[in-house]
């Protein structure tokens, strides 16, 4: 709310730009029987569960969310609570993790815009599934998704600068296989 220009800017973004655009896009999507999943991300107008639901309430039920746990963990949001709140508005799910560096967070906070080339100085880094949060936390996510009625794709998104694509994908597949299937993964198709 301060300085006042921030509130004015936010109102202009939502009332003059975001809502009119997404009302039209939502109506078009509904007329064509499709849903549009918006990926909430810090720095965007839609960045958390509350803003996702705010846009959905204005633009209609054809507008939902592409849930990326890493974006919410980075902000300190509890994923099972967010999933329960979002419910049927979850149209797609990414499997991506984030690791917070506690000493850097203590010094600079979580709104870190440093280059990814300065990994040791950053407050957070995107990580492969299981390399930011443990399996118990991913089980909580899987359970919350089931309770919310989500029974669709969970797509692995690799943005882990500390792991090769092969390492990150193998780690994510192994972790998610134990979490979702509750069994070891089958022979990897990419080997």
The pLDDT > 70 percentage for the chain reads 95
> What is the pLDDT confidence band of residue 190, given thresholds at 50, 70 and 90?
low
Q: What is the pTM of this model?
A: 0.91
Q: Is residue 189 part of a domain?
A: no
Radius of gyration of the chain (CA): 18
Q: Is residue 138 part of a domain?
A: yes
Among candidate residues 80, 52, 100, the one with its CA nearest the CA of residue 148? 80
Q: Residue 2: what pLDDT?
A: 78
The rounded distance, in Å, linking the Cα atoms of 67 and 78 is 13
Residue 131, phi then psi, degrees to nearest 5: -100, 5
The pLDDT > 90 percentage for the chain reads 90
Q: Is residue 153 part of a domain?
A: yes
Residue 145 pLDDT more than 70?
yes
Q: Is residue 13 part of a domain?
A: no
Q: Is residue 25 part of a domain?
A: no
Q: What is the CATH number of the domain that holds 149?
A: 3.20.20.150
As a whole number, mean pLDDT of residues 23-31 equals: 98
Q: Which domain holds residue 101?
A: 36-181
CB-based burial of residue 180 (10 Å sphere; 0-12 exposed, 13-18 middle, 19+ buried)? middle
The rounded distance, in Å, linking the Cα atoms of 183 and 52 is 34
Q: Residue 149: what pLDDT?
A: 97
Q: Residue 183: what pLDDT?
A: 62
Query: How many structural domains compose the chain?
Result: 1
Averaged confidence pLDDT in the chain: 94
Q: Is residue 82 part of a domain?
A: yes
pLDDT tens-digit profile of 85-116? 999 999 999 999 999 999 999 999 999 889 99
């Amino acid at each position: 709310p301060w300085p006042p220009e921030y509130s004015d800017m936010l109102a202009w973004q939502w009332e003059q730009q975001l809502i009119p655009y997404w009302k039209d896009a939502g109506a078009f999507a509904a007329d064509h029987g499709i849903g549009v999943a918006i990926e909430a991300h810090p720095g965007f107008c839609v960045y958390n569960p509350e803003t996702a639901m705010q846009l959905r309430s204005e633009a209609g039920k054809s507008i939902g969310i592409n849930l990326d746990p890493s974006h919410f963990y980075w902000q300190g949001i509890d994923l099972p609570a967010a999933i329960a709140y979002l419910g049927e508005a979850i149209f797609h799910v990414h499997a991506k993790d984030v690791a917070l560096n506690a000493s850097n967070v203590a010094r600079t906070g979580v709104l870190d815009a440093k280059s990814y080339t300065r990994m040791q100085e950053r407050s957070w880094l995107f990580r492969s599934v299981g390399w930011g949060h443990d399996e118990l936390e991913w089980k909580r996510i899987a359970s919350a998704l089931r309770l919310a009625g989500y029974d669709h794709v969970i797509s692995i998104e690799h943005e882990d600068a500390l792991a090769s694509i092969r390492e990150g994908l193998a780690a994510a597949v192994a972790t998610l296989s134990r979490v979702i299937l509750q069994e070891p993964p089958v022979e990897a198709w990419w080997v």
